[in-house]
Amino acid sequence: MNKILEGLNGPQKEAVVTTEGPVLILAGAGSGKTKALTHRIAYIIDQKLAMPWNILAITFTNKAAGEMRDRVDVLTGENGQDVWVSTFHSMCAKILRRNAEKLGFTSSFSIYDTDEQKTLIKQVVASLELDKKNYPEKSMLSVISSAKNAMQTPDLFEKENMGDYRMQKVSDIYRAYQEQLQKNNAMDFDDLLLKTVELFEYNEDVLSYYQDRFRYIHVDEYQDTNAVQFRLVSLLAKKHRNLCVVGDDDQSIYKFRGADIRNILDFEKTFPDTVVIKLEQNYRSTKNILSVANEVIRNNQGRKEKTLWTKNGEGPQVEFYEYESAYDEADGVIRDIIQNREKFPYGSCAVLYRTNAQSRIFEEKCVAYNVPYRMVGGVNFYQRKEIKDLISYLKTIENGRDDLAVLRIINVPRRGIGNVTLARLESIAAEAGMTLYDVIREEELLSGIGRAAGKIADFGRQLAGFREAAAGITVKDLLEKVLDETGYKAELIAEDTVESKARLENIEELISKAAEFGDEPDDQEALSRFLEEVALVADVDSLNSDEDRVVLMTLHAAKGLEFPKVYMAGMEEGLFPGRMAAFSGEDEIEEERRLCYVGMTRAKEFLALTAAHSRMINGETTFPKTSRFVNEIPSNMLRKKIRTAAAKSMKQAAYKDVDSINGSYRPKARILGTNASANYRVGKDFTTERADSLDYAVGDRVRHIKFGEGTVEKIEEGKKDFEVTVRFDRVGVKNLFASFAKLKKV
């Protein structure tokens, strides 16, 4: 026992040994909450208060769950392997797999990602004969997600919006969307939570089983829970009441996703006998950084009183840079990173911003100065075409009712099955009340389709063969069987292009991932586990802290991370806080202020805030005031550097001899001015890190920031970059380097 308590401060020890009843741990940023949580789990096992399998720990990201899992294993050894450490969505998926039949699903249900949800919404809007311009997929999904997070069924949603014509139509879309999900034996991410609550509320025996299974429940990042998650946790904890929630109301920043700060602010009202423990000692940041963060957040009224403090050193003063324009801001930040690279390597630096749109200029500057970077929020590995194709094959093998998966692969590789044939096939399925897979397997139903009937029947027989084989081979072997027998792999090999080779490399990576799911051919749940894991992966989970790359990311994405050196860009009214927040009332401003606090407390050693005197927004130049959050910091706590004139002269020095290439700058062979690092060269030594593959191919429509839209005519693999030939609609043919051009597939 003593060993478990070693190295903990007083409040952390109290959090560990207070095991019975409801406990609220208010854990400030960098205060060692994960340490307290994992030591608490180890303490419960050590004191034999419960068996490991009676302990549940829930968090929000795979990355956080993985870290918690590792720490529990280190502290408890083999004793802790049965502790259930999971994200909310992963936990619910596992529970639903075992009880899906009670909700009208099978255990092989699919989990739809955002693209699949959009496709389904598009189909629903068309089937209801509504104008897609008035009911866009993204907007409809947002409304439906909000309804689910508030635990509103289609019936309740319809009742809540009686008298509103448009919202009644949205209600029809919501209802039809849910019906199609059920028909396809599929759930979206919100359903995983909502359906689990539904399972518990209407199946007392199932709820009782999990209440006894989880006698001690721990919830991390509790300030980010929504109404469904609150209800889920409350149901599980109702019997034994040993609920320990850990969170920080000052870091509640996901209201737009449905998070309800009242869950943590009113926790003691919900559970009157709650023990409240505050973790206020920060182990991450310097005194100067914490002082600035505390000054900002104390302006919020809706918060629990606490003040972070640290035994760390003073550190350098927080700096505030003012630039003439957004381009000068990005230029100055990237140059500053270069100049201080010896003390802060690229991988220790993060540039955080309020909106995704701000990333473009920083990307351009990184490329122009040959600074390696990683932008969180790019194309997820599992969203790439070849990966989604193969996942759709596996989904169809696992869940024959998934019509979206069937539609994606029915002509991949090409089988000569056109859109007219597909429309007829869907019509037959609708008239017969059958799934597409079932229609494909009934050859007599295909007689009216015409010449393609034989090809469709062959496809159906191939799928049936895969489904039969799946019961006796591993996920890896099944994937390789699909690749070989469909000709998918052979087609890419025959194509023999840079892009096809990159796709093959991605497929090899997917096979390696599949190999992690065991080598036992009779493991009947391996395929379900594989599909579940790839469906729930998040972009931030793949962030590698060992890479020597500058990280570019939004403030929301940075939550839970830390960096030695942080730049917070765009500290201007109208941008941060945003214009909408300023007009929406104090609650929205307080949410923005919490986001500012989160950004500041990501920094360990150095924090810089930056702002521009002018910025182009929606094609118009604006002249914003400095953010109120900067003005809330006492002037003696900030080291202000007005870099308007300096930035201009620096830019002239850097770009005196430049070529304007595709909307970016490429410095010629020269050494930068005296403000630059003396040994930093660009020009002849200039290189750009080539992407492993491109997101577009010959024939695709693409968009360039300067030249507009065009068609890719040629892609060649150069020594240092892909050379892309594009015929633009407005300016004709251009030969571009891919890394500079930043072409986006339309």
Active site residue 499: no
Chain-centre distance of CA 472, in angstroms?
34
Is residue 642 a contact partner of residue 586, using CB atoms and an 8 Å limit? no
Beta-strand pair 722-728/708-717: antiparallel
Nearest CA to 180 out of 134, 129, 125 is that of: 125
CA distance 263 to 224: 9
Is residue 213 a contact partner of residue 560, using CB atoms and an 8 Å limit? no
**How would you label 82-119 residue by residue, b for 16+ Cβ within 10 Å and e otherwise?**
ebbbbbbbbbbbbbbbebbeebebebbbbbbbeebbbe
CA distance 217 to 20: 11
CA distance 153 to 639: 53
Name the active-site residue from 113, 116, 188, 221: 221
Name the active-site residue from 87, 178, 229, 251: 251
Contacts within 8 Å (CB) and 24+ apart, 17-21:
17/43, 18/275, 18/277, 19/43, 19/44, 19/47, 19/49, 19/216, 19/242, 20/242, 21/241, 21/242, 21/271, 21/273, 21/274, 21/275
Active site residue 40: no
Assigned token pair, 404:
């979206």
Sign of CA dihedral 224, 230, 233, 238: positive
> Which amino acid appears at position 519 of this protein?
D
Chain-centre distance of CA 344, in angstroms?
27
- Residue 413: asked if its preceding bond is cis (omega within 30°), the reply is yes
Active site residue 644: no
Beta-carbon contacts of 279 under 8 Å, excluding residues fewer than 6 positions away, are 11, 12, 15, 25, 26, 27, 28, 31, 32, 33, 36
Is residue 378 a contact partner of residue 499, using CB atoms and an 8 Å limit? no
Name the active-site residue from 34, 274, 497, 725: 34
Beta-carbon contacts of 716 under 8 Å, excluding residues fewer than 6 positions away, are 498, 722, 723, 724, 725
- Residue 272: asked if its preceding bond is cis (omega within 30°), the reply is no
Tokens 């890394």 belong to residue = 739
Cα-based angle 172, 175, 176 (whole degrees, multiple of 5):
85
Name the active-site residue from 113, 116, 188, 220: 220
Name the active-site residue from 148, 278, 559, 602: 602
Query: In angstroms, what CA-CA distances link 667 with 531, 650, 658?
Result: 46, 13, 5
CA distance 653 to 645: 12
Q: What are phi and psi of 638, to 5 degrees?
A: -115, 140
CA distance 89 to 96: 10
Active site residue 34: yes
Is residue 569 a contact partner of residue 528, using CB atoms and an 8 Å limit? no
CA distance 730 to 312: 58
Name the active-site residue from 12, 13, 33, 310: 33
Query: In angstroms, what CA-CA distances link 718 with 715, 722, 724, 735, 738?
Result: 9, 5, 10, 12, 10
Question: Which residues are tagged catalytic?
Answer: 33-34, 220-221, 251, 602
